[in-house]
Amino acid sequence: EVQLVQSGADVKNPGESLRISCKGSGYSFPRYWISWVRQVPGRGLEWMGRIDPDDSDTNYSPSFQGHVTMSTDKSITTAYLQWSSLKASDTAIYYCARHATTAVGTHFDFWGQGTVVTVSS
Amino acid sequence: SYELTQPPSVSVSPGQAASITCSGDKLGDRYASWYQQKPGQSPVVVIYQDMRRPSGIPERFSGSNSGNTATLTISGTQAMDEADYYCQAWASGTVVFGGGTKLTVL
C-alpha cells in the first residue's frame, strides 16, 4: 500500500527555521516525483514545487522560489521542505503529493495527511 | 502566468447532476485533473487525463475537456459528494490549480 506520512504539526516564531518531512512507503521512492502543496486555512491549493527523488532535481513555483528548499534522502525514502526564516504568512497546511508518473502533465495520485505549520510570535 | 478559473460555489439537489467548470487559455490542449477535498482531509483525485477515473472512484464522476473549458460532472449527486473541488493542469513545466469550487448538496 502506497503511503506518504508527514511529520507532525509545528509552532514557530517568525524568523525561525523549520524542516518538515514526508516519508514514502509501499513503492519505489526514487521513481516518482514529489510535490509540495500549500493550503492557507479556508483557501485553495497552491503548488510550491516538485523534486525528483532520484537525482534531487527541483522545479520551484516562482511564488516560492528562494523562500523554501526541497530535498530528499533516498536512503530513508523521505522528502523534506525547509524554511530558513519563517514569516507569519507561512502559516498553512503543507501537503506532499506523489506524481503518478515522472513526466510533466501528470496528476497527483497519493497525498500525505498534511502538516500544520503555525508561525506566530 | 497561467490561470485556471472555477466558480466559487455550485449547488445541486440530491439525485441531480452537478457540473463544475474550469476555464483556462487553450486548456483543452493540456490534460486536466480534478481533486475532491472534504473538510479536514487531504485532496483525492477523482478524474485525471481529462476523463479517466482512478480505481475506487464512483462511476457517477466524469470529466471532459475541450477548447478553454474542462468540466467535472457528477451524475446522481449524493450528500457524500459535498466537498471542495479543484481542477489542476500544467503550464510551462509548472503545476496550476484552480481556485476551487464548493459543491453544496441541498
Higher pLDDT, A102 or A23: A23
Grid cell at residue B57? 472512484
CA dihedral over A76, A48, B48, B100, signed as positive or negative? positive
Residue of B nearest to A113 (CA): B42
Task: Judge: A47–B94 Cβ closer than 8 Å, yes or no.
Answer: yes
pLDDT of residue B69: 98
- Is a pLDDT exceeding 90 seen at residue A23? yes
pLDDT of residue A103: 81
Nearest to A107 by CA among A55, A65, A63, A50: A50
From A37's Cα to the closest Cα of chain B, the distance in A is 10
Strands B69-74 and B61-66: antiparallel
Chain A contact for B54 (CB, 8 A cutoff): yes
Mean pLDDT within A110-119 = 98
Distance linking the first and last C-alpha atoms of chain B: 36
pLDDT of residue A104: 80
pLDDT of residue A102: 79
Helix H or strand E segment including B24: none
- Is a pLDDT exceeding 90 seen at residue B73? yes
In this predicted model, what pLDDT tens digit does every residue of A26-44 receive, in sequence order? 999 999 999 999 999 999 9
In this predicted model, what pLDDT tens digit does every residue of B15-51 receive, in sequence order? 999 999 999 999 999 999 999 999 999 999 999 999 9
Mean pLDDT within A105-120 = 96
